[in-house]
Amino acid sequence: MMMFLSSKYCLLSVFIFLYLLLVFLMHHFIGNDVNAYKIYVYFILFIETPVCAFFIVSVISDNVDFNERYFLRFLLNISLLQILIVIISITVPGVRDLILQTSRDADLLISISNSHGGMRSFGLASGYTSDLGMVLGIFSMLCISISLKSQNFSKKFFLLGLLFAIGAVINARVGLFPPLFLLLLIVFLFIFNLISVFRLAVGGFFAATIFLIFSYTDFYDEKAFGRLLDMVDEVFSLINGNKVGTFQVLENMHFFPNDRFSFWFGTGMDVFDNKNAMSLLNSDIGYVNDIFLMGLFNVLLVFVLFFTLHFRTFSYISRKFGSLVLFCLISSLFVFYFKGVGLTSNAMTNYLVLITFGLYKLNKLGGIKL
């Protein structure tokens, strides 16, 4: 345990938390109304989550033949378990109600989930918003990549990618961004003769299969998948210069502090909580929240440090799956940060921390080289 506590990852993670604590104390001393709960949120993200990830990886590696193949399969099985929970919660209303009623804000989440036919499901996630949907979307993208990279078309990973994409739609539409963005880049690269016809055909087949499933099965008639059709309408409306639906809501939530000092160094205000006594301002956008909390300067600093924490993980993904997948992954993380509060302990960040610790352990055992 002492080796873990003295590791560069832990020291940097503790430094980030202490720095954020100092920022909030500064706002408190200058008279700003600081939401103390946010300090606990960052404690979970930068202190508790790494400790839990270290414990999980240590227990697994001490009891099995821990190698790269086992670890990747372990991550895949966790996501498949989430898909299973999503399916059960849709087919068994009592399970879905139990999951929602035991959440932190049951009334709000039940209202959100029932807004499209009562079919939306969040699985077992620490935050019932878009985080698990983004995780499933990223696994869908990785499965597509494996299918494209395999010499012989991998039906297994193609079907897994399709399954994860469907799970992402049921959970949160933003989860479709990773696989769809990858497919769009594949088409773009093919136009400029930078990718093979085979990869274009596999990507096109994947996209066509998703379209056919949603168009010619009972899914098309379900109100839950009406959310997907609404998304298509909203995107085309945006292309035509009209903001409707989600884009209109996000436009209304896109605002910043009025004065320069508050913009660069924050106000300590939590605008994600619309019950804030200081203001009626409310926004779900991640960077808007963090700029109000600690300012753009601190947001940029924390992100540089956060990506430094996981630099070797991103490097591994680039070597394993290719630079195109890494670009899609990082782009997806920024989209996730736009759609919701990213700097919290959620399914997305928890997966990332777990993967990082797993790779560090594999590197120590000689299974991979970071």
Residue pLDDT, tens place only, 266-322: 888 777 765 554 456 777 788 888 888 888 998 888 888 888 889 889 999 999 998
Q: So what's the pLDDT on residue 200? A: 59
- With a threshold of 0.85, does the pTM exceed it? no
Q: So what's the pLDDT on residue 217? A: 46
Q: So what's the pLDDT on residue 355? A: 93
pLDDT tens-digit map of 285-301: 888 888 888 889 988 88
150-159: list long-range contacts, CB under 8 Å, 24+ apart: 153/202, 158/202, 158/205, 158/206
In the numeric block, which tokens belong to residue 342?
Answer: 């990213």
Q: So what's the pLDDT on residue 3? A: 44
Residue ranges of the chain with pLDDT lower than 50?
1-6, 106, 108, 117-118, 216-221, 277-278
